[in-house]
Amino acid sequence: MGVPDMEAFWNDLSARKQAGKLGKTEEKFFKKWVKALGYLSSNPRHNSLASHEIEDLSRKHGIKIFQSYLENKTPAAGRMFWAYGPGKGDITVLAVEPHPEDEKRGAYERVKLAFLPPRGSETMRRKK
Protein backbone atom coordinates (compact mmCIF):
# COMPACT_ATOMS: atom_id res chain seq x y z
CA MET A 1 0.00 0.00 0.00
CA GLY A 2 1.09 3.55 -0.65
CA VAL A 3 2.53 5.40 2.31
CA PRO A 4 1.44 6.85 4.61
CA ASP A 5 -2.21 7.39 3.65
CA MET A 6 -3.19 4.11 2.00
CA GLU A 7 -1.25 1.99 4.47
CA ALA A 8 -2.98 3.70 7.42
CA PHE A 9 -6.39 3.44 5.71
CA TRP A 10 -5.93 -0.29 5.01
CA ASN A 11 -4.67 -1.01 8.54
CA ASP A 12 -7.61 0.85 10.10
CA LEU A 13 -10.23 -0.89 7.96
CA SER A 14 -8.63 -4.32 8.49
CA ALA A 15 -8.45 -3.90 12.26
CA ARG A 16 -12.04 -2.69 12.52
CA LYS A 17 -13.20 -5.52 10.22
CA GLN A 18 -11.54 -8.10 12.48
CA ALA A 19 -13.12 -6.45 15.53
CA GLY A 20 -16.55 -6.44 13.85
CA LYS A 21 -16.73 -2.65 14.03
CA LEU A 22 -17.31 -1.68 10.41
CA GLY A 23 -20.54 0.09 9.52
CA LYS A 24 -22.76 -1.32 6.78
CA THR A 25 -21.37 1.01 4.09
CA GLU A 26 -17.76 0.37 5.17
CA GLU A 27 -18.38 -3.39 5.19
CA LYS A 28 -19.72 -3.26 1.64
CA PHE A 29 -16.78 -1.11 0.48
CA PHE A 30 -14.22 -3.36 2.21
CA LYS A 31 -15.66 -6.46 0.56
CA LYS A 32 -15.44 -4.85 -2.91
CA TRP A 33 -11.92 -3.63 -2.26
CA VAL A 34 -10.67 -7.03 -1.05
CA LYS A 35 -12.20 -8.68 -4.12
CA ALA A 36 -10.55 -6.13 -6.44
CA LEU A 37 -7.20 -6.58 -4.65
CA GLY A 38 -7.46 -10.32 -5.22
CA TYR A 39 -7.97 -9.77 -8.94
CA LEU A 40 -5.17 -7.19 -9.03
CA SER A 41 -2.69 -9.49 -7.28
CA SER A 42 -3.37 -12.40 -9.63
CA ASN A 43 -3.86 -10.48 -12.89
CA PRO A 44 -3.78 -6.67 -13.15
CA ARG A 45 -5.49 -7.00 -16.54
CA HIS A 46 -8.44 -9.03 -15.20
CA ASN A 47 -11.59 -8.09 -17.14
CA SER A 48 -13.53 -7.17 -13.99
CA LEU A 49 -10.96 -4.50 -13.11
CA ALA A 50 -11.00 -2.76 -16.49
CA SER A 51 -7.49 -1.49 -15.63
CA HIS A 52 -6.09 1.28 -17.76
CA GLU A 53 -3.41 3.93 -17.53
CA ILE A 54 -4.45 7.45 -16.56
CA GLU A 55 -2.13 9.54 -18.69
CA ASP A 56 -2.83 12.79 -16.80
CA LEU A 57 -1.66 11.19 -13.54
CA SER A 58 1.28 9.43 -15.20
CA ARG A 59 2.55 12.74 -16.62
CA LYS A 60 2.04 14.53 -13.31
CA HIS A 61 3.87 11.92 -11.18
CA GLY A 62 6.48 10.67 -13.65
CA ILE A 63 5.47 7.00 -13.37
CA LYS A 64 2.68 5.02 -15.01
CA ILE A 65 -0.46 5.29 -12.86
CA PHE A 66 -3.33 2.90 -13.51
CA GLN A 67 -6.99 2.98 -12.54
CA SER A 68 -9.03 -0.16 -11.81
CA TYR A 69 -12.70 -0.58 -10.99
CA LEU A 70 -13.99 -1.56 -7.56
CA GLU A 71 -17.48 -1.42 -8.97
CA ASN A 72 -19.22 -0.35 -12.13
CA LYS A 73 -22.60 1.05 -13.21
CA THR A 74 -22.95 2.82 -9.85
CA PRO A 75 -23.01 6.59 -9.21
CA ALA A 76 -19.57 7.65 -7.96
CA ALA A 77 -18.33 4.08 -8.47
CA GLY A 78 -15.14 3.30 -6.55
CA ARG A 79 -11.81 3.38 -8.36
CA MET A 80 -8.42 2.13 -7.22
CA PHE A 81 -5.30 3.92 -8.44
CA TRP A 82 -2.06 1.96 -8.47
CA ALA A 83 1.43 1.69 -9.92
CA TYR A 84 4.01 -1.00 -10.45
CA GLY A 85 6.84 -0.84 -7.91
CA PRO A 86 8.81 -0.09 -5.90
CA GLY A 87 10.42 -3.49 -6.55
CA LYS A 88 10.15 -5.89 -9.45
CA GLY A 89 6.81 -7.71 -9.33
CA ASP A 90 5.33 -5.24 -6.81
CA ILE A 91 2.07 -3.37 -7.17
CA THR A 92 1.36 -0.44 -4.86
CA VAL A 93 -2.15 0.92 -4.33
CA LEU A 94 -1.90 4.71 -4.23
CA ALA A 95 -5.54 5.76 -3.76
CA VAL A 96 -9.10 4.53 -3.58
CA GLU A 97 -11.66 7.15 -4.52
CA PRO A 98 -15.03 7.65 -6.18
CA HIS A 99 -14.78 7.81 -9.95
CA PRO A 100 -13.60 11.28 -10.99
CA GLU A 101 -15.78 13.06 -13.49
CA ASP A 102 -13.49 12.49 -16.49
CA GLU A 103 -15.66 14.61 -18.71
CA LYS A 104 -14.74 17.63 -16.58
CA ARG A 105 -11.47 19.37 -17.21
CA GLY A 106 -8.83 18.61 -14.57
CA ALA A 107 -10.81 15.85 -12.83
CA TYR A 108 -7.74 13.67 -12.25
CA GLU A 109 -5.77 16.59 -10.83
CA ARG A 110 -7.98 16.34 -7.73
CA VAL A 111 -7.05 12.68 -7.11
CA LYS A 112 -4.71 12.59 -4.09
CA LEU A 113 -2.17 9.77 -4.40
CA ALA A 114 -0.10 8.26 -1.60
CA PHE A 115 3.63 7.78 -2.20
CA LEU A 116 5.35 4.62 -3.39
CA PRO A 117 7.14 3.10 -0.40
CA PRO A 118 10.93 2.87 -0.60
CA ARG A 119 12.36 -0.14 -2.42
CA GLY A 120 12.42 -3.22 -0.18
CA SER A 121 9.44 -2.22 2.01
CA GLU A 122 6.38 -4.36 2.53
CA THR A 123 4.02 -3.92 -0.45
CA MET A 124 1.28 -5.90 -2.05
CA ARG A 125 3.06 -8.57 -4.08
CA ARG A 126 1.76 -9.58 -7.50
CA LYS A 127 1.88 -13.34 -8.00
CA LYS A 128 3.88 -14.44 -11.02
Per the domain annotation, does 52 fall within a domain?
yes
Number of structural domains (the chain) is: 1
Going along 11-121, which residue ranges are E strands?
52-53, 66-69, 78-84, 90-98
The pLDDT value recorded for residue 68 is 94
Q: Within a domain: residue 111?
A: yes
Residue 27 lies in a domain: yes
87: amino acid identity, one letter: G
What CA–CA distance (Å, rounded) separates 102 from 123? Answer: 29
- pLDDT at position 123: 41
122 found inside a domain:
no
Query: What residues make up the domain containing 87?
Result: 5-115
Note whether residue 126 is domain-resident: no
In a domain, 42, yes or no: yes
Quick check: is 30 in a domain? yes
Task: Report pLDDT for 31.
Answer: 94
Spans of the chain, pLDDT less than 70? 75-76, 99-107, 119-128
Residue 113 CB contacts under 8 Å (≥ 6 apart), including other chains: 2, 57, 61, 65, 81, 94, 95
Q: Give me the CATH number covering residue 80.
A: 3.30.2310
Q: What is the pTM of this model?
A: 0.82
* pLDDT score for 106: 63
Is 18 domain-assigned?
yes
Nearest CA among 108, 82, 100 for reference residue 1:
82
C-alpha to C-alpha distance for 66 and 55, rounded to whole angstroms: 9
The confidence score (pLDDT) of residue 101 equals: 61
